[in-house]
Structure 1
Amino acid sequence: MRPDNRTIGLERATLILLGTVQVTLIASITLITVALPQIQHDLGADPPDLVLVASAYGLSFGGLLLLGGRLADLFGPRRALIAGMTVFGAASAVAAAAPGLGVLLAARLGEGVGAALAAPAAMALVGDVLPDRRRYGRAMAVWGVLSSSGATAGNVLSGVAATWMSWRWLFLLPLAVAIVTVAAARRLVPEGLPRSGGRIDWPGAFLATAGLGALLYGLGHSAWAVAIGLAVLVLFGLVEHHSPVPLTPLPFVRGRALPLIATALTAAAMATAFYLLALYLQQVRGLSPLRTSMVLLLPAPALAAAGVLAGPLIARLGARRVMIAGLVVTAAGLFLLARLGLPYAGLVVFSLGAGTTFAAATVSAMDGVPAEQAGLAGGVLNSAMEIGPPAGLTLLTSLAAAHSRDVPAGYAFALRAAAIAFVLTALTALLRRGTK
């Protein structure tokens, strides 16, 4: 039976609310990037302390995502969404009023805790709002683009605040989204029931959080932390293999390995390409932070187009074929971006490919997920998005520095290396017939 206009309107309002949550949570990762010098001046921070503030949100967000997904399945996604956004909003308010660096650091960690609970729940709730598989698939395609849109929005807002206002205003938008979400969720979002019984695998939760947190921190700051994080994650895999109620069943991850790799790779490329381009435009071309932010708005129309086009293409051709096409287009965009003197066409092509890849990989990763594992799937997918940027920044900036002392030449080499990684991933996806 065709839904009536009131039902359709309620569905749209709920999806807009959930999508806004996702964009806000991802935008908060890059929200203070351009404003960091202002924060350093106002709070008297040393450079090492400033690095901690910049990475604190991503550390707690990425480290706790698997636990957040499990809690959403165990207690119900609407409860998890409301609890997560309550914590996120409260921490944003504290960050806006932080009298010193220690309070700001604690607030950013708190924001990440709330985000880790809310993000998997929001993704799981899309399936409750749209039980029809065809409409759900199209919604997931759009959802895949929201993350890249959020990262772009965070960079732009950070540039605006650094130019015209205090960095404290940056935290008012996340606070407003949290207030609206908590107020509207009980009326708009389906209540849902706990998706799975049993208990939480606390040893697995501890190891996953410690391993991911150490890895995410180490990728940007310490080789020793990377080694410790990888060792803890190996131990996590062994514990999960023998656990009667694993936090993350390994067959679940193995069956979705390729779309998760594509997601992490695309997130890495977006973060690194925008980072290198922002440095090039300001340090080599002499653009202001505001003008640099305006250049980084160029991807917005391409990302929007990818969100609109990907759903019908996936329904017609399948997620695997569309993902391969997205990987190839992204590679072409990176090769164009490597010609730094004229980065604008490259930005558009790269963003169109990245948005398409995100969309198809999201649909592929969520395809066939039972309701009792929807939160888990959201946590795993968001973890891939979180691991990608610090890994890409660490590897590609190191490649750039090692290749040449000439800054533009090093940046171009790193972008070409990323393009080759996309080509190889596309070939792997083409050869693996089992990938949906």
Structure 2
Amino acid sequence: MSSGRGFALLGTVQVVLILGITMLSPALPAIQHDLGLSGAQLTLVSAAYGLSFSGLLLLGGRMADLLGRRRLLVIGVTVFGIASAASALAPGAYTLLAGRFVQGVGAALAAPSAMSLVRSLYPEEARHARALAVWGGLAGFGATSGMLMSGAVSTWVSWRWTFVVPAVVSALAVAAAPRLLPPGPDPVRVRLDVPGAVLVTAGLTAASYGLVQAGEKSWAEPVVWLPVLVGLALLAAFAVVELKVADPLVPLRFLAPRRRATALWAILLGSAGMSTIFFMLSLYFQEVRDASPLLTSAAFLPFSAAQLAAGVFAGRLIQRLGARVVTAGGLLVAAAGLLLIAQLEADSAYAGTMLAGLVVFPVGIACVFSGSTVVALDGVEDHRAGLAGGVVNTAMEIGPTVGLAVLVSLATSHTVSLRAGGRAADAATSGGYGFALAIAAAAFAVSAVVAAVVLGRPGPSARSEPARPQERAAVPAATPGN
């Protein structure tokens, strides 16, 4: 069994799962026209995948440890592939909405399993750390690939064909998994924390739904604040339950170390910044500059190339400089890229600060994802690798929802203010986007300072938390490197 081929398979699955988040963005106008969707329906179709994906990731991570990693990966990828094929054939809004939601369910089962199987392929600490550094860059590459693929396919063929790639990759992955991937360690023999699973899934889904609505509606409207409030209440109840049950879904001590919490924040912030750039610049190019979906996708080609190149070298940088320097430096470089893009105006030339920002930002974000992934998974014991994968992927998926809700609201508010001051519509829209991106740049810069300080401090790791008796019995004795 070749570790390299197994990692290539897992990496391809990860890229396609993340690709599913952005694969419809440039095609949304065509989908709205073909299916006669209202604005609200279009928003739900766009968000349905992320809602189920983020809401079920923690449950998927724990199930990977309880049921077996390769088994759950195959189940998740199968569900994802069938839902992709069904979405391609969807005759109307609600069938497409259901297909996207089930796609997210499959992705939530598969993603933590895929990440945890990396440890099974590379049990040695040094090789595992190098593999994780590469893995950290795959999410950003997947998101960018979704944008590029969608623009080209929806222009030349039909938006329905964007679902063919996920369906085909899923079928190939299911067929190849038994030959290329190890089954992973024996499943952990503990009970699933059902109350915790229900509370965290419902809480994340409700809060995410409200935040998605905030992108188009006022925070004062019940459709925004009520789901967010309900979601936060459910998450608070989840925290209480986790402190009391014998076998929690997510032991809160797992999230307590400052280094891990800081790394998860960097992942969340990085995914928020990247998704905001995709969202705002897609609208800017198509609505302000009147570009086609194909040209809009082409505008992100330098972004994709820079991100891919930086991802290749990020692992070597971590070996030479350490994850702390790479993470903090990446946040600072990404902040500079955001500031460059924030200079956009209604008539800005693409080959200027815009292009510079689209090259600088992905270099920084590739370093952020690679360095943060290594830090977040440092010291995680093998019997909790699935849980760790679920936590890291949850941070990755919550980031776009929270980031877009906050930054789109800031952009909208500033645009309204500029219009009231007499600014033309296109100039006001561009000014709103620039304002929000400048705020994001400030958040990245502050986070870079925090990461430089906190990640330099030694602290307790997951190794210091003993396994429970049931879990200890399921951990192979010959895994001291894990």
TM-score (norm 1): 0.95
Tell me which residue corresponds to 2:457.
Answer: 434
Question: Is the 1:429–1:435 Cα contact (8 Å) retained in structure 2?
Answer: no
- Correspondence for 1:320 among 315, 320, 324: 324
Q: Give 1:259-270 correspondences, 5 Å limit.
A: 259-270=263-274
Q: Give 1:6-25 correspondences, 5 Å limit.
A: 10-25=2-17
The alignment's C-alpha RMSD in Å is: 1.3
Structure 1 residues 356 and 435: alpha-carbon distance in aligned structure 2, compared to 1, 3 A threshold: farther
Tell me which residue corresponds to 2:406.
Answer: 395
TM-aligned CA deviation for residue 278 of structure 1: 1.8
Tell me which residue corresponds to 1:4.
Answer: none
- Correspondence for 2:436 among 395, 414, 432: 414
Supply the AA of the counterpart residue of 1:332.
Answer: A
Question: Is the 2:338–2:361 Cα contact (8 Å) retained in structure 1?
Answer: yes
Partner SS, residue 301 of structure 2? coil
Alpha-carbon distance between aligned partners in 2 of 1:359 and 1:173, rounded to the nearest angstrom = 26
Tell me which residue corresponds to 1:282.
Answer: 286
Supply the AA of the counterpart residue of 1:225.
Answer: P
Q: Does 1:370 align with 2:381?
A: yes
Which ranges in structure 1 are unaligned for 5 or more consecutive residues? 1-6
Tell me which residue corresponds to 1:82.
Answer: 74
Supply the AA of the counterpart residue of 2:385.
Answer: A
Partner SS, residue 62 of structure 1? helix
Residues 278-336 of structure 1, C-alpha deviations (whole Å, 9 max, x = no match):
22222222322111100112111221122122112212222112111111111111111
TM-aligned CA deviation for residue 401 of structure 1: 2.1
Q: Give 1:145-294 correspondences, 5 Å limit.
A: 145-221=137-213, 222-255=224-257, 256-294=260-298
Residues 32-58 of structure 1, C-alpha deviations (whole Å, 9 max, x = no match):
122222222222322222221111111
Alpha-carbon distance between aligned partners in 1 of 2:452 and 2:176, rounded to the nearest angstrom = 44
TM-aligned CA deviation for residue 195 of structure 1: 4.2
TM-aligned CA deviation for residue 101 of structure 1: 2.1
The number of aligned residues is: 428
TM-aligned CA deviation for residue 86 of structure 1: 0.8
Alpha-carbon distance between aligned partners in 2 of 1:156 and 1:435, rounded to the nearest angstrom = 41
Supply the AA of the counterpart residue of 1:313.
Answer: L
Alpha-carbon distance between aligned partners in 2 of 1:83 and 1:36, rounded to the nearest angstrom = 29
Alpha-carbon distance between aligned partners in 1 of 2:96 and 2:289, rounded to the nearest angstrom = 33
Supply the AA of the counterpart residue of 2:230.
Answer: I
Tell me which residue corresponds to 1:138.
Answer: 130
Supply the AA of the counterpart residue of 1:323.
Answer: T
Alpha-carbon distance between aligned partners in 2 of 1:282 and 1:412, rounded to the nearest angstrom = 16
Tell me which residue corresponds to 2:422.
Answer: none
TM-aligned CA deviation for residue 130 of structure 1: 0.9
Residues 353-397 of structure 1, C-alpha deviations (whole Å, 9 max, x = no match):
011001000111111111110010110000001110111111111
Structure 1 residues 381 and 169: alpha-carbon distance in aligned structure 2, compared to 1, 3 A threshold: same
Alpha-carbon distance between aligned partners in 2 of 1:289 and 1:35, rounded to the nearest angstrom = 7
Question: Is the 2:26–2:282 Cα contact (8 Å) retained in structure 1?
Answer: no
Partner SS, residue 298 of structure 1? helix
Partner SS, residue 367 of structure 1? coil
Alpha-carbon distance between aligned partners in 2 of 1:85 and 1:233, rounded to the nearest angstrom = 28
Alpha-carbon distance between aligned partners in 2 of 1:397 and 1:50, rounded to the nearest angstrom = 17
Question: Is the 1:204–1:236 Cα contact (8 Å) retained in structure 2?
Answer: yes
Alpha-carbon distance between aligned partners in 1 of 2:42 and 2:333, rounded to the nearest angstrom = 36
Partner SS, residue 33 of structure 1? coil
Supply the AA of the counterpart residue of 1:158.
Answer: S
TM-aligned CA deviation for residue 403 of structure 1: 2.4
In the TM superposition, structure 1's runs of 4+ consecutive aligned residues that sit over 4 Å from their partners are: none
Alpha-carbon distance between aligned partners in 1 of 2:328 and 2:183, rounded to the nearest angstrom = 37
TM-score (norm 2): 0.86
Supply the AA of the counterpart residue of 1:311.
Answer: G
Q: Give 1:287-302 correspondences, 5 Å limit.
A: 287-302=291-306
Structure 1 residues 98 and 425: alpha-carbon distance in aligned structure 2, compared to 1, 3 A threshold: same
TM-aligned CA deviation for residue 435 of structure 1: 6.0
Which ranges in structure 2 are unaligned for 5 or more consecutive residues? 214-223, 419-427, 460-482
Question: Is the 2:66–2:189 Cα contact (8 Å) retained in structure 1?
Answer: yes
Alpha-carbon distance between aligned partners in 2 of 1:307 and 1:435, rounded to the nearest angstrom = 26
Alpha-carbon distance between aligned partners in 1 of 2:312 and 2:24, rounded to the nearest angstrom = 29
